[in-house]
Copies of this chain bind each other. A is one copy, B any other.
């Protein structure tokens, strides 16, 4: 799990929606999030591959939304930065112990069910909905 990346990604999309029509630079975006511009460019590379963001290179270049904020759900954003929200780091238990041998599978079941539920909730919320909270 890594919510730092989710926070960053959603922050980027929020700024792009609020400043719709403008091309925002990685430096401007990084200034709002308070992270390094290279990280913004990297995360945008990921979001761009999914069609959420478009970029323009060269002088005067920058970023805009690649699709309407009403068409991007938070579950899509979460999946973009993270395969399994909840599972996270597991132990590496002893395979010679009956419990150790099985527990990771059982934990995985547990979390994948919860993951689905969590993502189902986020699926109902679009970036546009989220941006409305800033009004």
Contact = CB atoms under 8 A, between A and B. Distances in A.
B91 A134 contact: no
A88 interface: yes
| Chain A at the B interface: SS class | helix
Contacts of A122: 114
Number of copies: 2
Contact of A99 (B4, B32, B110): B32
B8 A97 contact: no
Interface residues of A, number: 49
A134 B10 CA distance: 40
Interface string A6-19: 01101100110010
Contact of A11 (B33, B103, B117): B103
Closest A-B pairs by Cβ, 9 of them: A3-B88, A32-B97, A4-B89, A32-B100, A106-B133, A34-B94, A7-B91, A34-B93, A1-B1
